[in-house]
Amino acid sequence: MKTFRRFDLRNRYYFITVVTYKRENILLNDLKLFWNSWFGPLPKAWVILADHFHSIIKIDKISISEIMHKFKITYSRHCRDKYRKGRVWQNRYWDHIIRNQDDLNRHLDYIHYNPVKHGIVQDPFEYNHSSLTDYYKEGYYNRDWGIKNILEFDGDYGE
């Protein structure tokens, strides 16, 4: 396999997408396992679906590669010990360095609208496995956000 090099910028936000192996629906089976597998900074924004998750993480002392490597290894080891054998994650993950406030806003919207995009709910506030309610409480979103209009997103988000 070729060596894949990532930019290692500190004190920056990264948007991350990670997908399960063969898109197996396993992530919602044990959310405690998911959260206990994080090493380093916890995501500032996130959505967990059955076969993938998106998050925004601020990188400080350790690289995004190290954070994701340790997360995937820890989650895989505990998942295999507790539930199943075999691969858990697709190779690699998608990352995007957040460039400015508009870019951050667009990626926050993408994360929080993702359960609607995938047809799981019609109201993004009805989905419990995201940081949307935290951002709503902080005044970032109105309660009718994502319900009145279908949102469209240009660009690549690693799905």
* For range 151-159, the mean pLDDT: 68
The model carries a pTM of: 0.88
State residue 89's pLDDT score: 95
Position 81 confidence tier, pLDDT thresholds 50, 70, 90: confident
Model confidence pLDDT, tens digit, residues 6-41: 566 667 899 999 999 999 999 999 999 999 999 888
State residue 73's pLDDT score: 95
DSSP track, 71-113: HHHHHHHHHHHHT--S--B-SS-EEEE--SHHHHHHHHHHHHH
Model confidence pLDDT, tens digit, residues 107-123: 999 999 999 999 999 99
Model confidence pLDDT, tens digit, residues 35-78: 999 988 899 999 999 999 999 999 888 888 899 999 999 999 99
State residue 39's pLDDT score: 84
In the chain, what are the domains?
A: 12-137 (3.30.70.1290)
Q: Which residues contact 44 (CB under 8 A, 6 or more apart)?
A: 13, 55, 56, 57, 58, 131
Query: Is the separation of the CB atoms in 59 and 12 below 8 Å?
Result: yes
Coil, strand or helix at 17 = strand
- Mean pLDDT taken over the chain: 89
State residue 82's pLDDT score: 86
Nearest Cα to Cα of residue 132 among 157, 111, 107: 111
